[in-house]
Chain A
């Protein structure tokens, strides 16, 4: 078995507002997908993230630690959440990644975990 990170991406700064019908729909879809992951044993860990306006970046240089307000990558595209899943191989993981993308209605990037 190998582990993969499935990350969900947003093209623009997003707002977490779960009251909209769109958000309610995707929450329900992701909830159902999560349950299935847990039932089939593919689930390792998952979570949604607050918008990048809530991020702080910490850097270490020559033993000095500094902090800046905001995300590390100053790009429009930001990660909004992720799954860590376990699958027998890439094809099985890709099948789950496709379902993940359908559930959250957004682009999903899949990357194998080191040594996983």
Chain B
């Protein structure tokens, strides 16, 4: 029973909150109402069982709770405030659905979730605030869970959420899907926030504390929701494909001794075939759109890796070509670094090093993978002294214990000149 309630909560909290924010015109009120409704549900469903439409049940209960609270508030204090809230914001919504007619809610709810995604990822908010709000309001995670996932104190995360919500309210941020003209930029922010959740989860996988929310799984869930809400956005599909294809390698990323296993050395029979199949299907859909973008290309690169039975078997010329294309969309040093790695595989370490030397390294000075890559290429190119120096730089920049152990092992394995 507890498990069921939990999964219902995860599924329904976002949509319910999204619709209630529009109906009530207030984020906090909606959040509280949904929390109260779930508390009521926990008690009620234990006796009567889960109703056939749990989402609708939660929505109605939350709405009624919110209305009760507004009535209480309006008799106790701030009659004007409540009146203004109801008049201003209720009238603001174009279509108030008949809440009793639950079927009629479905389409509206879909739009509400999109509205909420764009609100949470409003460009006036810093990325860490966007991510926190998205996980809280759309993902239905508790503040404490988000704090644990990002390894920050709960009070810090609570303050981050309060400040973000207050900023949106004080600034009169609109609750609507951005205009056609703004949509590309605004969608980029949403995709960026979801991918940030994913990469955070992906790097943190090592030494995961017990009971910590798996952010990778959460990001994929949000990516699926976005993909359903915006089925005609190739980049939304591309992001989901990228996450699925990366996630597919997860079982092979950690060795039996708990250490990081590089892509080249991973046991590919451990890769999750069903995630790869789904990722491939999405990449093919992207190709049919023929509107390439940075997430789609990254997904295509991941798909090439997924196709290969080993590193040697990888179509590296295809990978290099995709990185060349990616550079035209995202001309940055990190992409150039990854291109140099692929080139090193295609034409040998000397070619990889030459490509790496051509990258403007000023922005990469503190970027650990740059030094780790250089060290690896130098070592393979037969330059042990330079390789050791590069490993030392990489090691100095590494905080993650698993990665540290890996780099130290690599450094020790270099034959001395």
Binding site for B on A (CB under 8 A): 2, 88-91, 93-95, 112
Taking CB atoms, residues of chain A closer than 8 Å to B178 are 91
Most chain B CB neighbours (cut-off 10 Å) among A89, A90, A94, A112: A90
By Cβ-Cβ distance, the 8 closest A-B pairs, closest first, are A89-B174, A90-B171, A2-B172, A90-B173, A112-B171, A89-B172, A112-B170, A90-B172
CB-contacts of B151-175 with A (<8 A): 168, 170-174
Q: Counting CB contacts under 8 A, is B124 at the interface? A: yes
- From A94, which residue of chain B is reached at the shortest CB distance? B124
> Are A112 and B172 touching (Cβ within 8 A)?
yes
Q: How many residues of B contact A (CB 8 A)?
A: 12
B 167-206 binary contact with A (CB < 8 Å = 1; else 0) = 0101111100011001000000000000000000000000
Q: What 6 new A-B contacts, CB under 8 Å, besides A90-B124, A91-B179?
A: A89-B173, A91-B173, A93-B172, A95-B182, A112-B170, A112-B171
B 100-124 binary contact with A (CB < 8 Å = 1; else 0) = 0000000000000000000000111
> Are A91 and B182 touching (Cβ within 8 A)?
yes
Q: What is the CB-to-nearest-CB distance from A109 to chain B, in angstroms, rounded to a whole number?
A: 11
Q: What is the CB-to-nearest-CB distance from B408 to chain A, in angstroms, rounded to a whole number?
A: 44
**How far, in angstroms, from A90 to B171 measured CA to CA in the complex?**
6
Taking CB atoms, residues of chain A closer than 8 Å to B179 are 91
Q: What is the CB-to-nearest-CB distance from A87 to chain B, in angstroms, rounded to a whole number?
A: 8
- From A4, which residue of chain B is reached at the shortest CB distance? B171
**How far, in angstroms, from A93 to B179 measured CA to CA in the complex?**
14
Taking CB atoms, residues of chain B closer than 8 Å to A93 are 171-172
Taking CB atoms, residues of chain A closer than 8 Å to B168 are 90
Q: What is the CB-to-nearest-CB distance from A103 to chain B, in angstroms, rounded to a whole number?
A: 19
Taking CB atoms, residues of chain B closer than 8 Å to A88 are 174
- From A116, which residue of chain B is reached at the shortest CB distance? B172
Q: What is the CB-to-nearest-CB distance from A28 to chain B, in angstroms, rounded to a whole number?
A: 25
Can you list 25 A-B contacts with CB-CB less than 8 angstroms, sorted by A residue number? Answer: A2-B172, A88-B174, A89-B172, A89-B173, A89-B174, A90-B122, A90-B124, A90-B168, A90-B171, A90-B172, A90-B173, A90-B174, A91-B173, A91-B174, A91-B178, A91-B179, A91-B182, A93-B171, A93-B172, A94-B123, A94-B124, A95-B182, A112-B170, A112-B171, A112-B172
**How far, in angstroms, from A88 to B174 measured CA to CA in the complex?**
9
**How far, in angstroms, from A9 to B174 measured CA to CA in the complex?**
27
Q: What is the CB-to-nearest-CB distance from B165 to chain A, in angstroms, rounded to a whole number?
A: 14
Taking CB atoms, residues of chain B closer than 8 Å to A90 are 122, 124, 168, 171-174
Q: What is the CB-to-nearest-CB distance from A99 to chain B, in angstroms, rounded to a whole number?
A: 13
**How far, in angstroms, from A91 to B175 measured CA to CA in the complex?**
10
- From B173, which residue of chain A is reached at the shortest CB distance? A90
**How far, in angstroms, from A95 to B172 measured CA to CA in the complex?**
14
**How far, in angstroms, from A89 to B115 measured CA to CA in the complex?**
15
**How far, in angstroms, from A89 to B123 measured CA to CA in the complex?**
14
**How far, in angstroms, from A15 to B401 measured CA to CA in the complex?**
54
Q: What is the CB-to-nearest-CB distance from B186 to chain A, in angstroms, rounded to a whole number?
A: 9
Q: What is the CB-to-nearest-CB distance from A66 to chain B, in angstroms, rounded to a whole number?
A: 33
Q: What is the CB-to-nearest-CB distance from B189 to chain A, in angstroms, rounded to a whole number?
A: 13
Q: What is the CB-to-nearest-CB distance from A31 to chain B, in angstroms, rounded to a whole number?
A: 25
Q: What is the CB-to-nearest-CB distance from B343 to chain A, in angstroms, rounded to a whole number?
A: 39
Taking CB atoms, residues of chain B closer than 8 Å to A89 are 172-174
Taking CB atoms, residues of chain B closer than 8 Å to A95 are 182
Q: What is the CB-to-nearest-CB distance from A90 to chain B, in angstroms, rounded to a whole number?
A: 4
Q: What is the CB-to-nearest-CB distance from B25 to chain A, in angstroms, rounded to a whole number?
A: 13
Q: What is the CB-to-nearest-CB distance from A7 to chain B, in angstroms, rounded to a whole number?
A: 15
**How far, in angstroms, from A112 to B172 measured CA to CA in the complex?**
8
Q: What is the CB-to-nearest-CB distance from B179 to chain A, in angstroms, rounded to a whole number?
A: 8
Q: What is the CB-to-nearest-CB distance from B89 to chain A, in angstroms, rounded to a whole number?
A: 12
Most chain B CB neighbours (cut-off 10 Å) among A88, A91, A95: A91
- From B118, which residue of chain A is reached at the shortest CB distance? A91
**How far, in angstroms, from A7 to B151 measured CA to CA in the complex?**
37
**How far, in angstroms, from A93 to B174 measured CA to CA in the complex?**
11
Q: What is the CB-to-nearest-CB distance from B122 to chain A, in angstroms, rounded to a whole number?
A: 8
CB-contacts of B122-146 with A (<8 A): 122-124
Taking CB atoms, residues of chain A closer than 8 Å to B182 are 91, 95
**How far, in angstroms, from A88 to B172 measured CA to CA in the complex?**
8
Q: What is the CB-to-nearest-CB distance from A112 to chain B, in angstroms, rounded to a whole number?
A: 5
Most chain A CB neighbours (cut-off 10 Å) among B122, B171, B173: B171
